[in-house]
């Protein structure tokens, strides 16, 4: 048995069919189609892997508090221990080195650096941990890519003034960012200010499913909040916090440290529900209300016209001083991409859900049309296998933002988990290999068409805590046994390693991993 492979007749008949399918697909992509200095890595975030949630004077984050509220997480779990990366980071870096990646994207815990925000002391033990992590990565030849805020904030800031609903958060984020630039900047060449602020705000302040659980009917049933107003206030403060951090980095640190700074956005390729003018307009509105909501102000200096037309004065105004900071151009756009969705017009036709409200752009985002999914389904709800979406979203961003450099900061595939399953049930993840190979082929096509893409990161190196789904989904190249914390490589880990070595068309890895000692037919 190798990687849990059972040599049975039916198994190998099915596996041979899968292998042949992967080989046909893989014929279109290999390492040589990407520049020699292209970043290839894996991504994680602090809350999803670190654990050690109160170790070494760390303060409580909003997710530490939120996940301990009964009913918030699907399987009742939390990230108190997660993958115990806080104590096992050296082993995990060894896994990265064995893959052959040249970069690793992770986030810093704001509450580990500043347990009480600017209202308390800097935690020297938190500084020490991340310096050790950075040193270990660089020693292995792995370039760190650091995210400052991946959904998390110190709970202190929520309790004191309402976090992203208050302009005070801008001062706190600037203070935190500058500490990180000062303490770690000599070792970090890639900074991301925020990860998916569009998701963080939408789920936290419109639907109330993420902390701080603020919403209003009919979007959700929360104890407080206004789903039509608060998302735009919170987003405005995120945009200006990003601008402050970029301004500080550009003015005080970039020249001597030689790094770059950007923001990471969640992206969806929206396909018109029908090929008609009103549905094509709906697809444009969906993009505006998801992606351009943040990127237009940050790059172009104003909210997208599609939002201004619908929302008017509900969108906060930028002061002259704000506009000066927004002119300080960032260096790259981080693109997290998993799926395409249909966009259905609800402006000129009535929809039977929340999509006929102005704050959603009068657009229904849906994965099915006439009962047929937009692509093969995955175990992650509303994530479909639609590789063409990556090429299209990259080309769309290229066109709208003058081909600003892009890095694909997340792309991955979920497996459903269960306490009744063991590592051997997950390691033969041909579906993940199919997914990753097809999306890489799509990305290669976008690059050939002129898109300035400089890196690609798989989500994720190891299975981890998947937010509202807890440990019920697995995205890792390595399986994690949450009882023993043992990491076991999946077939996709071997595939990625061989791909990065330049294995032509991955034929070698697939045939080697799939070939039984004796195949009975």
Catalytic site residue 50? no
Catalytic site residue 171? no
With 0-12 CB in 10 A as exposed, 13-18 as middle and 19+ as buried, what is 102? middle
Q: Is 105 helix (H, G, I), strand (E, B) or coil?
A: strand
Q: Are 268 and 286 in contact (CB under 8 A)?
A: yes
Q: What is the 3-state secondary structure (H, E, C) of 367-392?
A: CEECCEECCCECCCCCCECCCHHHHH
Distances (CA, A) of 340 to 9, 136, 509: 37, 37, 29
Q: Are 343 and 286 in contact (CB under 8 A)?
A: yes
Work out whether the CA dihedral 133, 138, 142, 147 comes out positive or negative: positive
Instruction: Enter the DSSP assignment of 250.
Output: I
Q: Are 304 and 298 in contact (CB under 8 A)?
A: no
Q: Are 416 and 473 in contact (CB under 8 A)?
A: yes
Q: Are 138 and 128 in contact (CB under 8 A)?
A: no
* Active-site option among 156, 158, 196, 230: 196
| C-alpha angle 382-386-391 in degrees, rounded to nearest 5 | 125
* Active-site option among 410, 430, 466, 498: 410
Whose structure tokens read 């959700």?
220
List, by residue number, the catalytic residues.
Answer: 196, 410
């Amino acid at each position: 048995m190798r990687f849990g492979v059972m040599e049975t007749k039916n198994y190998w008949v099915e596996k041979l069919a899968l292998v042949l399918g992967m080989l046909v697909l893989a014929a279109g992509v290999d390492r040589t189609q990407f520049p020699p200095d292209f970043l290839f890595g894996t991504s994680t975030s602090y809350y999803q892997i670190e654990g050690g949630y109160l170790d070494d004077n760390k303060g409580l984050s909003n997710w530490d508090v939120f996940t301990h509220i009964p009913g918030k997480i699907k399987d009742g779990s939390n990230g108190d221990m997660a993958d115990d990366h806080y104590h096992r980071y050296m082993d995990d870096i060894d896994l990265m080195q064995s893959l052959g990646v040249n970069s690793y994207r992770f986030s810093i815990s704001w509450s580990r650096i500043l347990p009480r925000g600017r209202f308390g002391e800097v935690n020297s033990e938190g500084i020490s941990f991340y310096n050790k992590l950075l040193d270990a990565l660089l020693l292995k030849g792995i370039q760190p890519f650091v995210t400052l805020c991946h959904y998390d904030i110190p709970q202190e800031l929520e309790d004191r003034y309402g976090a992203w609903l208050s302009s005070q958060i801008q001062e706190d984020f600037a203070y935190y960012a500058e500490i990180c630039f000062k303490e770690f900047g000599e070792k970090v060449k890639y900074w991301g200010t925020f990860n998916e602020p569009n998701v963080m705000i939408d789920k936290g302040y419109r639907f109330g499913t993420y902390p701080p659980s603020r919403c209003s009917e009919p979007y959700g049933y929360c104890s407080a909040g206004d789903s039509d107003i608060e998302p735009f206030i919170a987003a405005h403060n995120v945009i200006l916090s990003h601008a402050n951090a970029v301004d500080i980095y550009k003015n005080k640190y970039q020249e001597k440290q030689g790094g770059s700074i950007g923001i990471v956005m969640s992206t969806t390729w929206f396909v018109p529900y029908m090929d008609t003018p009103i549905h094509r307009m709906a697809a444009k509105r969906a993009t505006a209300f998801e992606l351009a909501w943040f990127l237009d102000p940050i790059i172009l200096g104003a909210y997208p016209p599609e939002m201004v037309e619908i929302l008017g004065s509900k969108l906060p105004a930028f002061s002259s001083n704000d506009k000066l900071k927004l002119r300080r151009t960032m260096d790259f756009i981080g693109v997290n991409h998993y799926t395409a969705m249909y966009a259905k017009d609800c402006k000129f036709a009535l929809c039977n859900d929340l999509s006929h409200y102005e704050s959603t752009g009068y657009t229904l985002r849906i994965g099915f049309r006439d009962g047929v999914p937009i692509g093969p389904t995955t175990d992650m709800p509303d994530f479909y296998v639609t590789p063409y979406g990556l090429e299209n979203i990259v080309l769309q961003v290229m066109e709208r933002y003058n081909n600003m450099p892009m890095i694909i900061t997340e792309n991955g595939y979920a497996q459903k988990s269960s306490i009744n399953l063991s590592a051997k049930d997950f390691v033969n993840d041909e579906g993940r290999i199919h997914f990753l190979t097809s999306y890489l082929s799509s990305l290669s096509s976008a690059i050939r068409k002129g898109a300035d893409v400089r890196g690609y990161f798989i989500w994720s190196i190891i299975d981890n805590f998947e937010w509202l789904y807890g440990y019920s989904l697995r995205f890792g190249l390595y399986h994690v046994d949450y009882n023993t914390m043992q990491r076991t490589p999946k077939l996709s880990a071997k595939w990625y390693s061989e791909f990065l070595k330049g294995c032509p068309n991955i034929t070698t890895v697939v045939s080697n991993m799939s070939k039984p000692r004796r195949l009975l037919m």
